[in-house]
């Protein structure tokens, strides 16, 4: 059985506000993404355990890294989040598997710690109702 680590990602691009994919994977120090399904509790009073139905699929992501003011890097991509209302394609390719999603980024929070780090943690959610599919 072949197993893989999360090292050396092939692709992690995020569209800028004009829809141009920017290859900014070098700016991310860590990330979290999920593809959850909603559930509906349909348990009748005749049951001794919970009965559920699967509902809609979703996608969310949080990208973390140091602020990079260089052209076409993370700050250029995310600094427009507060002033533009556009979906952005996020494409993840790792270990030969691709997960593309149209994503709405909802904030561009920057943090300066007491020791001097200047970082962001940008949250995004599924934009267009397309089921997240690994290929």
**Residue numbers of the domain that contains 56:** 11-126
Mean pLDDT for the chain overall: 95
Residues paired with residue 101 on neighbouring β-strands, in sequence order: 90
Q: Is residue 2 part of a domain?
A: no
**Rounded-to-10 torsion of CA 59, 55, 95, 73:** -10
Residues paired with residue 12 on neighbouring β-strands, in sequence order: 92
pLDDT band, very low/low/confident/very high, at 9 (cuts 50, 70, 90): confident
Q: Where are the beta strands (DSSP E) in 25-132?
A: 30-34, 37-41, 52-57, 60-66, 88-94, 97-105, 110-112, 118-126
Which has the higher per-residue pLDDT, 92 or 6? 92
Tokens standing for residue 55? 């509902």
pLDDT band, very low/low/confident/very high, at 4 (cuts 50, 70, 90): confident
Cβ count near 103 (within 10 Å) = 23
Q: Is residue 80 part of a domain?
A: yes
Q: Is residue 3 part of a domain?
A: no
Q: Is the pLDDT of residue 111 over 70?
A: yes
Provide the domain count of the chain: 1
The backbone torsions φ and ψ at residue 25, rounded to the nearest 5 degrees and listed phi first, read -60, -25
């Amino acid at each position: 059985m072949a197993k893989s680590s999360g090292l050396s990602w092939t692709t992690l691009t995020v569209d800028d506000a004009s829809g141009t994919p920017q290859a900014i994977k070098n700016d991310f120090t860590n990330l979290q993404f999920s593809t959850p399904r909603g559930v509906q509790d349909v348990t009748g009073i005749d049951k001794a355990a919970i009965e559920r139905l699967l509902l809609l699929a979703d996608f969310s992501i949080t990208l973390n890294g140091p602020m990079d003011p260089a052209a076409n890097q993370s700050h250029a991509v995310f600094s427009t989040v507060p002033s533009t209302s556009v979906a952005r394609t996020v494409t993840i390719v790792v270990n030969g598997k691709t997960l593309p999603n149209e994503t709405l980024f909802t904030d561009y929070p920057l943090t300066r710690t007491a020791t001097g780090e200047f970082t962001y943690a940008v949250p995004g959610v599924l934009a267009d109702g397309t089921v997240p599919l690994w290929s």
